[in-house]
Structure 1
Amino acid sequence: MTTHTRIRRTPWGDARFWIGVALVVLSVVGVWLIVNASRSTTPVLQADRTIITGEALSSSDFRVVEVSLGAAADAYLAPQDLTADQIATRALSEGELLSSAAVGDAADARTTTIVVESSVGLPARVAPGTVVELWQAPPLEEGFEEPRILVADVTVASLVEEEGMMAQDRPAVEIVIDRADVSAVLSAITGGAALSIVPMGSR
């Protein structure tokens, strides 16, 4: 009678065993890296108040917060990145993190401010930092032309408080505009156009 000896294969002699072990190890390492990255924070600047386009940036306008940004950390400014010759290239809301895209050199500034009087009352939502459109209605011999946009996408720097009866009828607003648009705005003012401040998205 012939007997056959059954050879028992050890698990470590099977390639599938080692592939399984490798996958488990990779999974554990991956989870560890993700958890470790989520615990890593970066000190960045956060606005303490609304900052207007073109305004000089100062460390006193920000507080330092620790935020987990991961790969996006380089897109935001740390305390040591802020220098004295930098300005805001767009409006920053209170509590917003300071991104490098919102910062520029003062020497390269293309904006200025100008005060305009609105021919109608200001919407309640208009405040410093609000992005608005400046509309004009050029004068006719009788009445005014159809209103149209004079300058789009400008920022309110401040609400100018005036005294007297005209303060209620024609509120004044200081706006931040591109220098290239100054001539058109001044021409509209001196030409007697009726000007209106319209918040973006309110049409």
Structure 2
Amino acid sequence: MAVARRLKQPSWRDARLLIGILLVAAAVSATWQLVRVASDTITVYAAAETLVPGQKISTDQLEKIQVKLPENAEKYVSANRDWGAGIVALRPIYPGELIPREALGNASELEGRMLAINLESSLPDGVRPGSRVDVWATPRDGAGTDQMAKDSRLVLEAVTVLASGGLDNALGSDGQSRIELFVPSPDLPELIQVLGRDERISIVALPGSKSP
């Protein structure tokens, strides 16, 4: 008569048992890592479109992004904060850029002013809100083209474009254009003097300048 074999107690040396323990440990470790990473992330605002200095900001122009900011989180605008009325951009903010606290404030904090200039020529291709341009001035003294080129001088460097476009052709202004710039306060007096002398203004786009 055959005798039933006794079942052996599993041993720590059983390979299948060890593999099972390792799999459970790996799953626990992975879960812990996910929880830890999630706890290290915060939800902040990023620009959904180009924002220019002086522009009033609303949440419609922003998007929420979850990012890992372990040390400098306080430098950015949390998506959980209340959005107050009258908040404006103090500097250009480009699409996808996280919103720094220092880039927002009240209109009284702007370190510059908006100024519109009518131009006698078309704007360079690609100039639009958020672009940066140089402004050159040339005296109208009846000199030849070569001399006028020598007399041209840089008035403003790397200023931000707020708006741009052509003038109404129905008024006989074909080829002319208009540009609105954010001019730093220290540069305003010289530009006002240039406009008062009715000098010819030229706009030069900066290579690689950010634009939407």
Gaps of 5+ in 1: 1-28
172, 179, 193: which one pairs with 1:187?
193
Question: What's the % identity of the aligned pairs?
Answer: 23
Once residues 207 and 172 of structure 2 are traced to their aligned partners in structure 1, the CA distance between those partners, rounded to angstroms, is: 28
1:16 corresponds to: none
Q: For the structure 1 residues 166 and 195, does the alpha-carbon distance in structure 2 shift closer, same or farther, using more than 3 Å as the test?
A: farther
Structure 1 length-normalised TM: 0.72
Q: Distance in 1 between matches of 2:173 and 2:116?
A: 14
Q: CA deviation at 1:69?
A: 2.1
Map of 2:88 onto structure 1: 87
Question: Using the alignment, how far apart are the partners of 2:178 and 2:172 within structure 1?
Answer: 10
1:127 Cα deviation after fit: 0.7
> Structure 2 regions of 5+ residues with no counterpart?
1-28
SS state of the match for residue 121, structure 1?
coil
Match of 1:154 in 2: 159
1:183 is paired with a residue whose SS is helix
Contact 1:37–1:70 (CA under 8 A) maintained in structure 2: no
CA 1:147–1:101 in 2, change beyond 3 Å: closer, same or farther? same
- In structure 2, the residue matched to 1:178 is 184
Residue 76 in structure 1 maps to residue 81 in structure 2: no
The answer to whether 1:169 aligns with 2:175 is yes
CA contact (8 A) 1:38 1:70 kept: no
Summarize the Cα distance change of 1:61–1:93 in structure 2 as closer, same or farther, 3 Å threshold: same
**8 Å Cα contact 2:166-2:176 kept in structure 1:** no
- Number of matched residues? 172
- Aligned-partner Cα distance in 2 for 1:78–1:40: 14
